[in-house]
Amino acid sequence: MKLTSANINLMLKACRKAAKTLIRDFGEIEKLQVSVKGPGDFVTASDKKVEKILIDELGKGRPSYSILSEEIGEIKNDEEFKWIIDPIDGTANFLHGIPHFAISVGLEKNKEIICGMIFDPIKDEIFTAEKGNGAYLNNQRMRVSSRAKLENCIIFTGGPKREAQNRDLVIKEYDKFSSKVLIPIRKLGSASLDMAYVASGRCDGFWQRNLNYWDIAAGIILVKEAGGFVTDFKGEADYIENKTILVTNSRINEEMIGILK
């Protein structure tokens, strides 16, 4: 790892420990007990185990920090620092034996993400970034792609869920983008990895509605430190509040905003 600050090392230790449980459970996917959390939204016993490991390990190293996690909600401590945790981003993939999911951990200071880690345990890929110190995939520096024409780009998205109130609008946006690009739109099922792939230059842009903060927190710093843009659909900084996020390299941002407007 090129980034070696105390916070990054703590995140790495926590993610590696949690990943061992995740890999073992993924290998025994048929034995997992699944409980329904909501329509189209499942949580596994593994999800809860991974979350507990992450919270325990991060808590040992930084007992005063607050925590926001998908399953347990918020643990309020120090108002300055907060861990943002998604134990398994890509739960549906995990449940169906598809090896594309990740552990996502971001650290917020005064409501700004200052470092983040997205850990793909199956591929053993660790996407890491820290404010002012760059973004890395394992030991290699990451940069967003340099493609300047949207029609030549690979674009990712996700959703909509069956019960989504703006389902028709999401489908309309999908149709608009599909008509602009030569390569079909990809839907891989993990928003954190979608953002990590933009940061690493594997894809060029990503847009999605209705994501939660823990889905995107770590990805925000990854993309920014890799030279990309993170905005809402209007090109502004309200993507957390209004749950519309657009993530791009530095060259197709305006074109994508034009389509979404």
Say which amino acid occupies 141: R
**125 and 184 belong to one structural domain:** no
Instruction: Give the predicted TM-score (pTM) of the model.
Output: 0.93
**98 and 68 belong to one structural domain:** yes
Alpha carbons 145 and 200: distance in angstroms, whole number: 7
**190 and 171 belong to one structural domain:** yes
Please report whether residue 1 resides in a domain. Answer: no
User: What's the pLDDT score for residue 68?
Assistant: 97
Last residue of some domain: 141, 160, 190?
141
**136 and 154 belong to one structural domain:** no
User: What's the pLDDT score for residue 97?
Assistant: 84
Alpha carbons 141 and 129: distance in angstroms, whole number: 10
Last residue of some domain: 141, 167, 197?
141
C-beta separation of 194 from 156 below 8 A: yes
**185 and 129 belong to one structural domain:** no
Q: What is the CATH number of the domain that holds 14?
A: 3.30.540.10
**16 and 122 belong to one structural domain:** yes
Q: What is the CATH number of the domain that holds 171?
A: 3.40.190.80
Please report whether residue 207 resides in a domain. Answer: yes
Last residue of some domain: 141, 165, 184?
141
**219 and 108 belong to one structural domain:** no
**105 and 228 belong to one structural domain:** no
**25 and 74 belong to one structural domain:** yes
**Structure-block tokens of residue 19:** 């990943």
Which of 110, 89, 98 lies closest to 196, judged by CA? 89
Range of the domain at 23: 6-141
**182 and 134 belong to one structural domain:** no
C-beta separation of 60 from 9 below 8 A: no
Say which amino acid occupies 64: S
Please report whether residue 42 resides in a domain. Answer: yes
**99 and 176 belong to one structural domain:** no
User: What's the pLDDT score for residue 46?
Assistant: 86
Please report whether residue 170 resides in a domain. Answer: yes
**Structure-block tokens of residue 40:** 């189209």
Please report whether residue 46 resides in a domain. Answer: yes
User: What's the pLDDT score for residue 167?
Assistant: 94
Task: Encode pLDDT of 158-195 as tens digits.
Answer: 988 888 889 999 999 999 999 999 999 999 999 999 99
State which residues of the chain have pLDDT below 50: 33, 37-42
User: What's the pLDDT score for residue 38?
Assistant: 42
Please report whether residue 45 resides in a domain. Answer: yes
Number of domains in the chain: 2
The dihedral through the CA atoms of 197, 187, 185, 259 has a sign that is negative
**125 and 228 belong to one structural domain:** no
User: What's the pLDDT score for residue 39?
Assistant: 31
**Structure-block tokens of residue 238:** 């309200």
Q: Count CB-CB contacts under 10 A for residue 120.
A: 22
User: Catalytic site residues?
Assistant: 70, 86, 88-89, 91, 215
Say which amino acid occupies 39: P
Please report whether residue 223 resides in a domain. Answer: yes
